[in-house]
């Protein structure tokens, strides 16, 4: 548990999901549908309800950019996925979460996402860690934008990360607290909550 937030992580490779995937006729060469199914099943399990009630009940309302919220306001939640893993964050406060699988990557592919300060930080890193740090900063930006409810439509560059600590960021003068999540080997993750 982090900051009154519970974190649940599961894999789309978990044997308990395979029959469900077959019944849903998923394309096993793609991740998206399997990730969505696992995320929904994790949330339904947390709530103690059936997947049918989760998907077809009238439990949610949606923010301006499509972020789901429970009508009951029983708790706040956010889901993220990357490759094999799905993460669910459940909290008593608004929350955003993002995970990324570490892989060869360079900030030069997405320079428009970063502020000048962030670009300076990334450009001064040793090449051996640049890719992992780029993906870490990306999880921070995406978790922050999921927290505010805009997702990637909220202009990634609008999130200004304190690169010295990676414990806070600002977006439109709102301070965001960042918590590093130990996801699994080969993954990075960030939990974002408001810091006010």
The pair of structure tokens assigned to 24 is 């849903």
Per the structure, the count of domains in the chain is 1
Give the rounded percent of residues in the chain with a pLDDT score beyond 70.
Answer: 98
Report d(CA 3, CA 193) in Å as an integer.
Answer: 9
Residue 109: per-residue pLDDT: 94
Q: Find residue 160's DSSP bridge partners.
A: 170
| Distance separating alpha carbons of residues 144 and 190, to the nearest angstrom | 9
Given pLDDT bands bounded at 50, 70 and 90, which one contains residue 3?
low
| pTM (predicted TM-score) | 0.94
pLDDT number for residue 152: 84
Average pLDDT over residues 42-67: 94
Name the one residue in this structure whose structure tokens are 């909290």.
91
Cα–chain-centroid distance for residue 53? 24
pLDDT band with cut points at 50, 70 and 90 for residue 2: low
Q: How confident is the model at residue 136 (pLDDT cuts 50, 70, 90)?
A: very high
Residue 187 pLDDT > 80? yes
| pLDDT (mean) for 50-72 | 93
What's the whole-number mean pLDDT along residues 143-166? Answer: 93
User: Which range of residues forms the domain containing residue 34?
Assistant: 5-194
Q: Do residues 46 and 10 make contact, with C-beta atoms less than 8 angstroms apart? A: no
CA 153, CA 158: separation in Å to the nearest integer? 11
Q: What is the rounded distance in angstroms from the CA atom of residue 138 to the CA atom of residue 142?
A: 6
The CATH number of residue 76's host domain is 3.90.470.20
Question: Is 80 exceeded by the pLDDT of residue 196?
Answer: no
φ/ψ of residue 190, rounded to 5: -140, 140
Residue 88 has pLDDT above 90, yes or no: yes
Reference 70, options 58, 80, 82, 86; nearest CA is: 58
Question: Residue 151: pLDDT above 90?
Answer: no
Place of tokens 């301006």: 64
């Amino acid at each position: 548990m982090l900051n009154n937030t519970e974190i649940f992580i599961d894999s789309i490779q978990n044997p308990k999901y395979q029959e469900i995937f077959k019944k849903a006729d998923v394309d096993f060469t793609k991740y998206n549908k399997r990730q969505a199914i696992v995320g929904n099943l994790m949330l339904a399990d947390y709530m103690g309800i059936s997947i049918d009630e989760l998907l077809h009940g009238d439990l949610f309302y949606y923010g301006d950019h499509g972020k789901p919220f429970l009508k009951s306001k029983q708790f706040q939640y956010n889901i993220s996925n990357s490759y094999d893993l799905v993460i669910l964050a459940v909290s008593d406060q608004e929350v955003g979460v993002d995970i990324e699988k570490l892989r060869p990557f360079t900030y030069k592919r997405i320079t428009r996402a970063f502020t000048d300060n962030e670009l300076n930080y990334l450009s001064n890193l040793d090449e051996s860690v640049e890719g992992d740090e780029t993906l870490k900063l990306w999880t921070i930006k995406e978790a922050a934008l999921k927290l505010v409810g805009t997702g990637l439509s909220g202009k990634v560059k609008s999130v200004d990360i304190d690169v010295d600590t990676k414990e806070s960021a600002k977006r439109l003068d709102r301070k965001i607290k960042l918590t590093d999540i130990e996801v699994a080997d080969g993954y990075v993750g960030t939990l974002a909550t408001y810091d006010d």
